Amino acid sequence: MARRRDRMVRRLRDRVEVSDRVAAALRRVPRGEFVPDARADRAHADRPLPIGEGQTISAPHVVALMADRLDATTGDRVLEVGTGCGYHAAVTAELVGADGVYTVERNPTLADRAREHLAETGYGAVSVRTADGRVGWTEHAPYDRAYLTCAAEAFPPGVREQVRPGGIVLGPIGDRRQRLVGGRVRSDGSLDRTNHGPVRFVRLR
């Protein structure tokens, strides 16, 4: 399995430029443990896969791109909106430490599965909450970073306001035409935005 992950990372680096640190994180996380058994043989293909409940796990190159552009480091506190199967949270945990990752999933079935996947793969210290991700997770704010794994027309105010000045929010923004947008939070709460290119995600519910 480690060899399959290594090949996966080598292929995705042909598509996107990511740091060695992010590449190493993707090599360490056992992606095959986060997808349904029926899809396990395709776990390392560079494409999204269904995970049930009408949701998908993002293609590896997209996870790598987002992890790189989030620019999180060890000790950061990170909010994730849209836990899905838990894979992206595990990659983030490799970058900041599992106890610094707080992830919110609206669908209780997916949230329960994600908790199981994370516990079974050594990332049980990641905090998973079943709730509407648009309101963030105020109890652990402020965050150094926050990101969406589902598309929204704009960053939800409840998420943006929980990121400290100087921190970064990141996510797919738009409806039919989505762009991966990063925003560094200014002292007045506005965002200094960077467009990281076109993406396609399921919609934030």
Tell me what pLDDT residue 71 has: 97
In this structure, is residue 171 part of a structural domain?
yes
| CATH number of domain containing 110 | 3.40.50.150
Residue 204 lies in a domain: no
Domain count, the chain: 1
Quote helix, strand, coil % in the chain, to nearest 5: 40, 30, 35
The percentage of residues in the chain with a pLDDT greater than 70, rounded to a whole number, is: 100
Q: Using alpha carbons only, what angle is made at residue 56 by residues 161 and 146, rounded to the nearest 5 degrees?
A: 15
In which domain, by residue range, is 164 found? 2-199
Instruction: Report the 10 Å Cβ neighbour count for 157.
Output: 12
What burial letters (b/e) apply to 83-110, b meaning 16+ CB within 10 Å? bbbbbbbbbbbbbbbbebbbbbbbbeeb
The radius of gyration of the chain from alpha carbons, rounded to an integer in Å, stands at: 15
Does 153 reside within a domain? yes
Strands 143-148, 178-185: pairing is: unpaired
Cα end-to-end distance, the chain, whole Å: 34
Q: 38-69 b/e with 16+ CB inside 10 Å = b?
A: ebeeebbeeebbebeeebbbbbbbbbbbbbbb
Q: Are strands 101-105 and 78-81 parallel, antiparallel or unpaired?
A: parallel
Residues pairing with 103 in the sheet: 80, 128
pTM, two decimal places: 0.96
In a domain, 12, yes or no: yes
Backbone φ and ψ of 80, nearest 5°: -115, 130
pLDDT at 205 over 90: no
In a domain, 107, yes or no: yes
132 in any annotated domain: yes
Mean pLDDT of all residues in 86-101: 98
Is 66 a member of any domain?
Answer: yes
* 5-44 pLDDT tens trace: 999 999 999 999 999 999 999 999 999 999 998 888 899 9
Q: What residues act catalytically?
A: 58
pLDDT digits (tens, 9 = 90+) for 167-194: 999 999 998 789 999 999 999 989 999 9
Q: What is the pLDDT of residue 204?
A: 78
